[in-house]
Amino acid sequence: MENLSFEDFYAQLGMILRDVPRGTAVYLGNFAAAYWDGHRPVFAFLDEDGRLDEQFDPADYLWEDLTPDFFEASITDLSTGRPPELLAWLKDAPPYDAGS
């Protein structure tokens, strides 16, 4: 995977997350994780204990500062888990309205 852009990474991450069990997070280094909310990848920061903290929009951050190697490593050497806080978030999520 040469020069994997954020857009390519996002698309590949989406394909991976759609295929894993509900409530599975993919850890992105030691600072963030992503999960599938039923429609798209959602990103969340990790707190100092490695638990999911607040959600964020990756477009609000300087992802271009991360090297293509970071994206490639996140895709090819997946670190996953089923954090209890994610399961609680998904349980409390409102139902999806396909018409909206």
- Whether the CB-CB separation of 9 and 75 falls below 8 Å is answered with yes
Indicate whether 51 pLDDT > 60: yes
Q: Are 42 and 35 in contact (CB under 8 A)?
A: yes
Higher pLDDT, 65 or 91: 91
Taking the C-alpha atoms of residue 75 and residue 88, their distance in angstroms, rounded to an integer, is: 25
Instruction: For the chain, report the end-to-end CA distance as a whole number of angstroms.
Output: 36
Structure pTM? 0.73
34-43 confidence digits (pLDDT tens)? 999 889 999 9
Confidence of residue 83 (pLDDT cuts 50, 70, 90): confident
Give the residue-averaged pLDDT of 65-94.
Answer: 71
pLDDT value at 94 more than 70? no
Q: Is 41 exposed, middle or buried (0-12, 13-18, 19+ CB in 10 A)?
A: buried
Average confidence score pLDDT of the chain: 79
